[in-house]
Structure 1
Amino acid sequence: MRAAYVERLGPADAIRFGRLPDPEPGPGEVLVRVLATTVNPVDTFVRSGLFRTPLPFPFVIGRDLVGTVVTAGAGFAAGETVWCNSLGHAGRQGAAAELAAVPADRLYRLPPGVAAEEAVAVVHPAATAYLALFTHGGLRAGETVLVAGAGGNVGGALVVLAARAGARVLATASPRDHDHVRSLGAAEVVDYRAPDLAERLARSAPSGVDVHVDTSGRNDLRSAVGLLAHRGRIVLLAGARDEPVLPVGPLYMKDGSLRGFALSHATVAELAEAAGTINEALAAGALRPRALEQVPLSEAAEVHRRMERGELRGRRVVLRP
């Protein structure tokens, strides 16, 4: 099969495109012919070594795929369209290839009528959003959520899933993104560069924010704690190199909590729970990429370079084997 792979940790230039032996599914695995895959920030972390995890070399890169089942097994029928967003980690080969052996408990059926390229572009950001809001944030209907950086891929998914769950969504974004973020379900959107940002958000949430999620990776914890409601929760999902100051006193005086998570550490059960909600939103047409670009799998290295240069914010690039 043809695949995008690395033989060592390193920069994007370490990615090779060529032929590797076809994978042989082991017990509990399903052979999938890949229709589409994509690139996430975590893919660059794994490839570079910033995020350490056991890797077999040569290592096929990539987490996400949509494909079709090649041979029936483990409850899946040949020809079914399926998706996965947790390959390429903890010893599992990745998705950036013509074929992939996928653990059946990490494989989900794609709802009818959903395009492969649109689904593969949203399943990773949407799973991140689900875990942030519900698994770690404990979001309940009627609560107020603040999504900082709502114009991006994860930010948009956060807005959609929170609004569908009956939460009131406040958001920050660039002015050019305000209409888009409102269309996803945000009740109010504020320019993230506003000099009186904290004051405007506080006026919009006079009882405080129940769940605070910042996708930017800057993690201004002083402002976040100041906005929290009693027993509010701050969820960290970005900022691998960030070291913010935490105002401990105000946090504990509010009975507040701070939780961080990486999607790569999610359990099989947590991912399956997220997949159920993601499939419902996909079937309803609520989760769709804002800007989509399709390129051949042979361009994987260049897409990694573009990701690291910050050129893909708000865009998704789909790689076609």
Structure 2
Amino acid sequence: MRAAYITGLGPPDAIRHGELPPPEPGPHDVLVDVEASAVNPVDALVRSGAYATPLPFPFVIGRDLVGTVAAAGPAAHGFRAGDRVWCNSLGHAGRQGAAAEQAVVPADRLYHLPPDTDPIEAVALAHAAATAHLALFTHGRLRCGETVAVLGAAGNVGSALVTMAAHAGARVIAVASGRDAAYVRSLGADLVIDYHRPDTGALIREAAPAGVDLHIDTSGHNDLETGVGLLADCGRIVVMSGLRSRPVLPVRDLYVKDCSLHGFAISHADTAQLAGAAHHVNMLLGAGRLRPRAVETLPLDAAAEAHRRIENERVRGKLVLRIRD
């Protein structure tokens, strides 16, 4: 089968495109004919070794896929040949990746694609939308009627955060570029603040004088001094990006208001958490409430180019490797 793979950790040029033996599913696995695989920043971290995780070499890159079931193992209940499916947790922790003509997926990491859903749009959302669900509800404990501040609201994860929070009945204060204000507002944000303004924190405080219940910064800046000061009593901050950030934590303000700070990486989510996120994502996909802003498709042999762009450019929207039509 054709695959994009590496034989050792390295830069984007380490990615090869060629033939590998097809994978063999076990009794609890599903063999999937892959149609497309999304490219995520975390894929570049895995490929380079910046995110340390066990990898079998040669290692097929990529975490997310959409495709069709070719065969299901005898203990892979709920799937049969011809089912349209998606997955967002391959390519780390010893599992081969998704950027190949075929992939083996453990049945508890595979989800049915809702009817009439565009498969390219679905795979473009797979990682970001599941991340948003877990950040908001599993780790952020967001409830209807609460106020959430979303920084980086126009990005892939940020836009999913806004959509999901608004759909759940939360009040959303979004921070994004002024040019993205109309788009973010269309997702359900109650207020959009231009991040170029030097008084962003003051404007959030003005909009939520009692404080925000949940603060999520997708940009990786993690200004905790400002963030903790914006929290309401029992407010929460979910930290989900920023490998190189070393922010100052105002401990006194954190504990006197009974607030909490929670680090979160989707790579550590267990299968029950991922399945819960997938159920929510499928519900919103099926209802037409969740769509990527922009998707650019590339052929499988452009995987190295896609990784270079992820690392060196501010890619607007999502890059997807189309493996078969």
Please give the TM-score of this superposition, normalised by the length of structure 2.
0.97
Which secondary structure state, in structure 2, belongs to the residue aligned with residue 71 of structure 1? strand
Matched residue, 1:36: 36
The one-letter code sitting in structure 2 at the alignment partner of 1:286 is R
The reply to whether residue 287 of structure 1 matches residue 296 of structure 2 is no
Matched residue, 2:121: 118
Matched residue, 1:141: 144
Matched residue, 1:236: 239
Matched residues in 2 for 1:254 and 1:10: separation? 45
Matching residue within 210, 215, 218 for 1:215: 218
Matched residues in 2 for 1:198 and 1:91: separation? 42
Q: Displacement of 1:27 after TM fit?
A: 2.3
Matching residue within 293, 318, 321 for 1:319: 321
The reply to whether residue 302 of structure 1 matches residue 298 of structure 2 is no
Matched residues in 2 for 1:310 and 1:217: separation? 16
Matched residue, 1:15: 15
Q: How does 1:1-321 map to 2 (within 5 A)?
A: 1-73=1-73, 74=76, 75-312=78-315, 314-321=316-323
Matched residues in 2 for 1:36 and 1:164: separation? 28
Matched residues in 2 for 1:98 and 1:320: separation? 10
Which secondary structure state, in structure 2, belongs to the residue aligned with residue 21 of structure 1? coil
Aligned residues: 320
| 1:141-184 deviation per Cα after TM superposition (whole angstroms, max 9, x unaligned) | 00000000101000000000101111000000000100000000
The one-letter code sitting in structure 2 at the alignment partner of 1:235 is V
Which secondary structure state, in structure 1, belongs to the residue aligned with residue 258 of structure 2? coil
Q: Displacement of 1:310 after TM fit?
A: 2.6
Matched residues in 1 for 2:201 and 2:93: separation? 40
Which secondary structure state, in structure 1, belongs to the residue aligned with residue 225 of structure 2? helix
Q: Does the 8 Å CA contact 2:63/2:97 hold for their aligned counterparts?
A: yes
Q: Does the 8 Å CA contact 2:174/2:189 hold for their aligned counterparts?
A: yes
The one-letter code sitting in structure 2 at the alignment partner of 1:38 is A
Matched residues in 1 for 2:96 and 2:84: separation? 20
Q: Does the 8 Å CA contact 2:99/2:300 hold for their aligned counterparts?
A: yes
Matched residues in 2 for 1:236 and 1:16: separation? 34
Matched residues in 1 for 2:197 and 2:256: separation? 28
Which secondary structure state, in structure 1, belongs to the residue aligned with residue 117 of structure 2? coil
Moved more, 144-153 or 73-82: 73-82
Q: Does the 8 Å CA contact 2:29/2:72 hold for their aligned counterparts?
A: no
Matched residues in 1 for 2:81 and 2:217: separation? 41
Matched residues in 2 for 1:57 and 1:182: separation? 45
Q: Displacement of 1:311 after TM fit?
A: 3.0
Q: Displacement of 1:206 after TM fit?
A: 1.2
Unaligned runs of 5+ in 2: none
Which secondary structure state, in structure 2, belongs to the residue aligned with residue 223 of structure 1? helix
**What fraction of aligned residue pairs are identical, expressed as a percent?**
65
The one-letter code sitting in structure 2 at the alignment partner of 1:287 is L
| 1:277-318 deviation per Cα after TM superposition (whole angstroms, max 9, x unaligned) | 000010011111101111101100000000001331x31111
Runs of 4+ in 1 over 6 A off after TM superposition: none
Matched residues in 2 for 1:132 and 1:273: separation? 12
Moved more, 166-175 or 67-76: 67-76
CA RMSD between the two structures: 0.7
Q: Displacement of 1:116 after TM fit?
A: 0.8
Matched residues in 1 for 2:178 and 2:214: separation? 23
Which secondary structure state, in structure 2, belongs to the residue aligned with residue 90 of structure 1? coil
